[in-house]
Amino acid sequence: MQCPKCRAPMHTYNRNGVQIEQCSGCRGIFLDYGELEALTRLESQWSQPAPPPPAAPQAYPPAAAPQAPAWGAPHGGHYGGHRRHKSFGHMLFSS
């Protein structure tokens, strides 16, 4: 789909099981009906059972994602799910 604001193509991402569309140009986000509620629900799940104070900073196991340039794919990339795409493998093995 096209971004309603700047007309650039929008790409779909999965955030905790919620599909959201993000514009490749202005990076605006489009939510379908019910998706905002789904995200809000997820947020409250995170904050509700006031978690016991973490013993160590390792409480959130995945280390911070490596730095990336601002022109890169939004939020660390499309990686995952698209792996077997035709051109993908070829590009890693050629100039």
Partner 1 sequence: MTEDLLPALAARAAAAAHARDPACPCTAATLVHREDTTVVRHAVAVAKAHPAETDTAELAVRTAVAARLPGILLPPLTPAPAELHGRPVTYWPYGMPVGPDDPDAAPWEEAGVLLARLHRTPLPEAVPPMRGPEKAARAVALLGDLAPRHPAAAPVLDAWADLPPWARGEAPAPGPVRLCHGDFHLGQLIRDRAPGGPWLLIDVDDLGAGPPVWDLARPAAWYAVGMLDPDAWHLFLTAYRAAGGPAVPPDGDPWPVLDVPARALTAQTAARAVTKAAAAGRPLDEVEEWLVDACARMRSVPAAAPAD
Kindly state whether residue 76 participates in binding partner 1, applying the rule CB under 8 A: yes
Kindly state whether residue 61 participates in binding partner 1, applying the rule CB under 8 A: no
Q: Under rule CB under 8 A, how many of the chain's residues touch partner 1?
A: 30
User: What is the bridge-based pairing of β-strands 18-23 and 10-15?
Assistant: antiparallel
Kindly state whether residue 1 participates in binding partner 1, applying the rule CB under 8 A: no
26-42: b or e for each residue (b if 16 or more CB lie within 10 Å)?
A: eeeeeeeeebeebbeee
DSSP state of 76: G
Contact residues for partner 1, defined by CB under 8 A = 8-9, 11, 24-25, 65-73, 76-80, 82, 85-89, 91-95
